[in-house]
Amino acid sequence: MQKITLVDLGAQYQRIKQEINDAIFEVVESSNFILGKAVQNFEKEFAAYCGASHAIGIGSGTDAITLALRALGLEPGNRVVTAANTFIGTTEPVGLVGAKLVFCDIDPVTYNLDPEKLECVITDTTRAVIAVHLYGQPAPIDAIKKIIEPRGIALVEDAAQAHGAEYYNQRIGSLGHAACFSFYPGKNLGAYGDGGAVVTNSSELADRVRMLRNHGRHQKYEHEIEGVNSRLDELQAAILRVKLRYLDAWNERRRHHAQRYTEQLSALAVITPAEQPGLRSVYHLYVIRTPHRDALREFLNKRGISTGIHYPLPLHLQPAYKHLGYGVGDFPVTEAITKEILSLPMYPELTESDIDRICEGIREFMITHAK
Ligand SMILES: *Cc1c(COP(=O)(O)O)cnc(C)c1O
| Helix then strand then coil, % of the chain, to nearest 5 | 45, 20, 40
346, amino acid identity: M
CA neighbours closer than 13 Å in the CB half-sphere of residue 357: 17
Output the CA 196–ligand 1 centroid distance in Å. 9
Q: What is the Cα–Cα distance from 281 to 252, expressed in whole angstroms?
A: 10
Secondary structure (DSSP) of 27-75 = HHHHT--BSSHHHHHHHHHHHHHHT-SEEEEES-HHHHHHHHHHHTT--
Contact between residue 162 and residue 130 where contact means Cβ atoms under 8 Å apart:
no
Question: Ligand 1: distance of its center to the CA of 182 in Å?
Answer: 6
Ligand 1 site residues, Cβ closer than 6 angstroms? 60-62, 86-87, 89-90, 132, 158, 160-161, 182, 184, 194, 196
pTM of the predicted model, to two decimals?
0.97
Give me the phi and psi of 41, to 5 degrees please.
-65, -45
Question: How does 260-271 read in b/e, with b if 16+ C-beta sit within 10 Å?
Answer: bbbebbeebebb
Q: What are 54's strand-pairing partners? A: 200
Q: Which of 228, 233, 244, 175 is nearest to 63 (CA)?
A: 228
Three-state DSSP at 264 gives: helix
The pLDDT profile of the chain, 371 residues, written as one tens digit per residue, is 799 999 999 999 999 999 999 999 999 999 999 999 999 999 999 999 999 999 999 999 999 999 999 999 998 999 999 999 999 999 999 999 999 999 999 999 999 999 999 999 999 999 999 999 999 999 999 999 999 999 999 999 999 999 999 999 999 999 999 999 999 999 999 999 999 999 999 999 999 999 999 999 988 888 999 999 999 999 999 999 999 999 999 999 999 999 999 999 999 999 999 999 999 999 999 999 999 999 999 999 999 999 999 999 999 999 999 999 999 999 999 999 999 999 999 999 999 999 999 999 999 999 998 66
Round to whole Å and give the CA distance between 312 and 342: 9
Q: Measuring CA to CA, which residue among 263, 352, 343 is closest to residue 296?
A: 343
Ligand 1, atom nearest to 187 Cα: 1
Q: H/E element holding 46?
A: helix 37-50
CA of 87 to the centre of ligand 1 (A): 6
The atom of ligand 1 lying closest to the CA of 184 is 7
Say how many C-beta atoms besides its own lie within 10 A of residue 81's C-beta. Answer: 25
- Please provide the size of the chain in residues: 371
Beta-strand pair 79-83/100-104: parallel
Rounded distance between C-alpha atoms, residue 188 and residue 163, angstroms: 6
